[in-house]
Structure 1
Amino acid sequence: MTQETIKVAGMSCGHCVMRVKKAIEAVEGVRKAEVDLPNKQAVVEYEEGKANLEKVKAAIREAGYEPL
């Protein structure tokens, strides 16, 4: 299991947090996603080989936010 912290630009409310969380959790291999609005970041746990950081970042972009 791998854990990564990703800064996410563009989040401003609870709805944004839920969109980012759902987008990340939809990536195959992701086990857990915690999105923190005050710190504008997401902590993601995923299985190596099934998911990777680029897939997670792509999902965030598709949801309309910018991973940094």
Structure 2
Amino acid sequence: MKVRILVSKKSTITTAISLVLLAPVLGIMPTVASAESRSVNLMVPTMDCGMCLITVRKALENLDGVEQAKVDFNDKTAKVIFDDDKVSVERLMQATKEAGYPSEGVEPNKLKNSNKGNE
């Protein structure tokens, strides 16, 4: 005995839309290749209060492409994780400058070495 399932055009469209919407949740849809996230450490030497920290963090987080900004008041640094297809290191530095806190990019090794003298 053969079983036939009759499906109307409307239910086929509904099913297709449901599958498209659920596919990412189920992990069955291929993902589009995107740029990898990058990180940069910025020295922000003019931070001298808790509000400075918040101002710098917000200036960075408000940029399209910034995924995370962690600002350390004691080290006077900001570690920024960002999508370099959307925002550049130069733009990150410009944002801190526009907020009143000029910054410069530094390599992680340079950061570690500069902290050793403070310990």
Give 5+ residue unaligned stretches, structure 1.
none
| Bigger strand share | 1
Matched, 1:15 2:15: no
Stretches of structure 2 that go unaligned for 5 or more consecutive residues are 1-36, 105-119
Identity score, percent: 35
Match of 2:101?
65
User: With structure 1 as the length reference, what TM-score do the two structures score?
Assistant: 0.96
Letter in 1 for 2:86: K
1:24: how far off?
0.4
Of Structure 1 and Structure 2, the greater helix share is in 2
Higher relative contact order (CA 8 A, sep 6+): 1
Q: In structure 1, how many angstroms separate the alpha carbons of the residues matched to 2:45 and 2:62?
A: 20
Computed over aligned residues only, the root mean square deviation of the Cα atoms, in angstroms, reads 0.6
Please report how far the alpha carbon of residue 28 of structure 1 lies from its aligned counterpart in structure 2 after TM superposition. Answer: 0.7
> Is 1:26 matched with 2:68?
no
